[in-house]
Amino acid sequence: MKLLSFFVGIFYIMPSYAIAQVKVPVLCYHNISLEDEGPDNLMHIKGKSFDKQMKCLYDSGYHTILPDQLYNYYKNGTSLPSKPVVITFDDSHDTHFTVAAPILKKYGFKGIFFVMTVPIGKKGYMTAAQIKMLADMGHVIGCHTWDHPHLKGTSGLDVEKEIRHPKQALEKITGQPVQYFAYPFGEWNETVIGQLKVSGFKAAFRLTGKNSEENGIFTIERIMVDGSWVCPGLPSEMKRAFK
């Protein structure tokens, strides 16, 4: 009886994706500048620096995977290619389409584009047609709310405005289910996780805090990528963060 209680206790405290033993690196990019413009730091990366990083991953034998593969790995232990990595983009910047997507194609990579819907079609942001093209090219479109609010500790969250309507809008644009979510500022709480579940999301990605003990698949860890990381810096940082 004591032995049974011991194993029940272990099962209870394990995250919901603990069937998988090894973390998969998930990278997060925001602002990508034109080829010779801008800084290289955690929030900005030049196009040529992004190209160097993707070449580094390619030359190092990494394979990009999409969220359904990651979900099935964490939930069911489904096998993955050697050296898997997930590449994600936040905030709907037009250079995600004009700069990042062609570089991904160059190396045979796919990514997840987490779209904030309020700026769609505005200057500096992707159009609905560009978002649709990304989905048609085999990339995945995810939800990043309507206007990027802080969600940690939010008591008066307008779920329809920030979660359900953006999901529906992106599904209308792409003609595909939108099942993955990235928290603005990487912040989350259990109340928001509950709303994501009932809204039809399968998983979500964070940048801050720890995993949810009960809903680990809704707190998948990501790291922001410094634009100054080049080989062997990027692989080394990935190994350090996801050991």
**pLDDT, tens digit (0-9, with 9 covering 90-100), for 3-29:** 434 333 433 334 455 555 689 999 999
pLDDT at 154: 61
- Is the pLDDT at 127 greater than 80, yes or no? yes
Structure token digits, residue 83: 């050296």
3-state secondary structure of 180: strand
pLDDT band at residue 81 under the 50/70/90 scheme: very high
pLDDT at 201: 97
Q: How far apart are CA 215 and CA 179, in angstroms?
A: 15
On whether the CB atoms of residues 39 and 101 are closer than 8 A, the answer is no
Find the Cα–Cα–Cα–Cα dihedral 68, 27, 34, 114, rounded to 10°: 40
16 in any annotated domain: no
CA distances for 225 relative to 15, 50, 59, 235, angstroms? 25, 10, 18, 11
Helix then strand then coil, % of the chain, to nearest 5: 40, 15, 45
Q: Mean of the pLDDT values across residues 60-67?
A: 98
Phi first, then psi: what are they for 81, rounded to 5°? -65, 165
pLDDT at 166: 97
- Is the pLDDT at 95 greater than 90, yes or no? yes
On whether the CB atoms of residues 219 and 187 are closer than 8 A, the answer is no
CATH number assigned to the domain comprising residue 142? 3.20.20.370
217 or 4, greater pLDDT:
217
On whether the CB atoms of residues 171 and 150 are closer than 8 A, the answer is no
CA distances for 89 relative to 11, 28, 98, 186, angstroms? 34, 6, 13, 13
The letter for the amino acid at 77 is G
155 in any annotated domain: yes
The letter for the amino acid at 160 is E
pLDDT at 144: 95
The domain total for the chain is: 1
Q: Mean of the pLDDT values across residues 97-120?
A: 98
- Is the pLDDT at 114 greater than 60, yes or no? yes
9 in any annotated domain: no
pLDDT at 9: 40
Parent domain of 64:
23-241
- pTM score of the predicted model: 0.90
11 in any annotated domain: no
Q: Above pLDDT 90, what percent of the chain?
A: 76
Structure token digits, residue 51: 């190209």
161 in any annotated domain: yes
Out of 59-73, 127-141, 164-178, 200-214, which region has the weakest mean confidence (pLDDT)? Answer: 200-214
17 in any annotated domain: no
On whether the CB atoms of residues 30 and 207 are closer than 8 A, the answer is no
72 in any annotated domain: yes
pLDDT at 13: 37
Which residue do the tokens 């990935």 mark? 238
Question: What does the pLDDT look like over 135-182, one tens digit per residue?
Answer: 999 999 999 999 988 887 666 778 899 999 999 999 999 999 999 999
pLDDT at 14: 41
13 in any annotated domain: no
96 or 185, greater pLDDT:
96
